Structure 1
C-alpha cells in the first residue's frame, strides 16, 4: 500500500470536476494511455471507465470501476490493468485554506502485483502517484470555473 498527498492550489470543486470527467483519465493517471469509452453515469457507483494501458503497439484494454463515491470529497476505484492485476485506489479531497489536500491511497488486490511484499510495492506506487498527483494538479489548477 502507498499513500501520496499533495496540496493543489484550487478548490475541491475544481479538482472534483477533473475526477468527474472520465475522458481526462489518461491525462493525469500515469500508465493509462487512452480512453475507449466512459459510462454515461460516471462517476456513480458501479460505473466504468474503459481504458487502455501500455504503449502502442503493446496496449491492453481494461476498465476501472467506481466502488464508492461522495461528490467533491472522495472516489474509490477498482482499477484493472491485466496482466499485472488490479488495485483499489482511494482518492480523497480535503479543503485546506484556498486549496485542496488531495490524497491517493493505492494497494494491489489481485494478480501478480498483489504478491509483491508491501515494502517493495510501496516504492514504485509512491513514484507513480507523485507524478499522477502532479498531473492532476496541473489540470485542476488551470481549469476555468463555469460562468453562471
Structure 2
C-alpha cells in the first residue's frame, strides 16, 4: 500500500470542488491522459469516470468508479488502468485551520502490480501519488473562489 499526504493551502470545500469535477481528473491524476465521459451523478457511489491512460497513440480506455463518498471529507475509488490493473484509492480531507491535510492511500487490487513485491512497487506508487498531490494542490490553491 502507498500512503502519501500533503497539507494544501486551501479549504476542504475548495479541494472537494476539484475532486468532484470529473472533467478535471486527468489534470491532477498522474497516468490519466484524457476524459471521455463523466457520469452526471459523479461523485455519487457507483458513478464512473470514463478516461484514457497512456500517451497518444497508445491510449487505452478504461474507467474509475466511486466506492464511497463523503463530500468534503472522503472519496474512495476503484481506479482501473489497463494493462496496469486496478487499485483502490482513498482520498481523505482533514481541515487544519485554513488549510487541509490530504491523504491518498492506494492499494493495487488487480493486474501486474499485485504480483510485484511491495518493496518494488511501493516507491513507484509513492512517487506517482506525491506528484498527484502536488497537481491537486496547484489546482485547488489557484482556482478562483467565486
For normalisation by structure 2, the TM-score amounts to 0.98
CA shift, 1:27, in A, is 0.4
Q: Distance in 2 between matches of 1:104 and 1:63?
A: 19
| Unpaired stretches in structure 2, ≥5 consecutive residues | none
1:64-89 deviation line (CA, Å, top 9, x unaligned) = 00000100000000000111110000
1:105-133 deviation line (CA, Å, top 9, x unaligned) = 00100111111111211100000000000
CA shift, 1:143, in A, is 1.3
**Alignment correspondent of 1:142:** 142
Q: Distance in 2 between matches of 1:132 and 1:78?
A: 16
- Give the alignment of 1:42-61 within 5 angstroms: 42-61=42-61
CA shift, 1:53, in A, is 0.2
Moved over 4 A (4+): none
Q: Does 1:8 align with 2:11?
A: no
Q: Distance in 2 between matches of 1:76 and 1:117?
A: 24
Q: Distance in 2 between matches of 1:24 and 1:78?
A: 17
- Give the alignment of 1:71-110 within 5 angstroms: 71-110=71-110
| Unpaired stretches in structure 1, ≥5 consecutive residues | none
CA-based RMSD of the aligned residues comes to 0.6
CA shift, 1:62, in A, is 0.1
CA shift, 1:48, in A, is 0.2
Q: Indicate the SS of the match to 1:58.
A: coil
Q: Distance in 2 between matches of 1:76 and 1:116?
A: 23
**Alignment correspondent of 1:63:** 63
Give the count of matched residue pairs: 146
